[in-house]
Amino acid sequence: MYGLTPFEKRTYDLFDAFHDFEDNFFNASMTTGCKTDIKDEGDKYVLEAEMPGFEKEDIKLDLDGDRLILSAEHSATNDEKDDNGKYIRRERSFGSFSRSFDVSAVDTDKIGAEYKNGILILDLPKKQATVPAARRLEIK
């Protein structure tokens, strides 16, 4: 049946395979951010974000409505000079990223955060479901 596209409207490009390769390669390798795992532990969610190379002071956690914004930024300079004060090697690096998470089901007043060994761990307690009280209605 030639798929769902009418035969006369199909376009053929000999380089489709190369475009797909380029998109897949660069999207996979240019991903910024940190590897994040989120576990549901019944009464809370636990978010673990791998952030090697960052210091605790480099990391910012902000709440904006129902969004938790995790951002980090750091820079480093490595200067090595010879006896005359001329550079033999000089390297600079800079890294930053930002991610946001929906926390509409989280009690944001009780969020806890800990950073240890390059891993940021957030305890995100779930909101308690409000159950309406049972009551009897009067018939008039």
> Is 131 within a domain?
no
Question: For the residues of 45-76, what is the DSSP string, one character each?
Answer: EEEEEE-TT--GGGEEEEEETTEEEEEEEEEE
Q: What CATH number corresponds to the domain at position 60? A: 2.60.40.790
pTM of the model: 0.62
* 81 lies in some domain: yes
Q: Which domain holds residue 48?
A: 34-125
**Helices (H), ranges, the chain:** 16-29
* 118 vs 58: CA distance, rounded Å: 12
Residue ranges in the chain whose pLDDT is less than 50: 1-9, 22, 24-31
pLDDT of residue 33: 61
Domain-embedded: residue 9: no
pLDDT at 108: 92
Distance CA 29, CA 107 (A): 35
Q: How many domains does the chain have?
A: 1
How far is 140 from 129, CA to CA, in rounded Å?
32
Residue 12 lies inside a defined structural domain of this protein: no
Output the pLDDT for position 94: 75
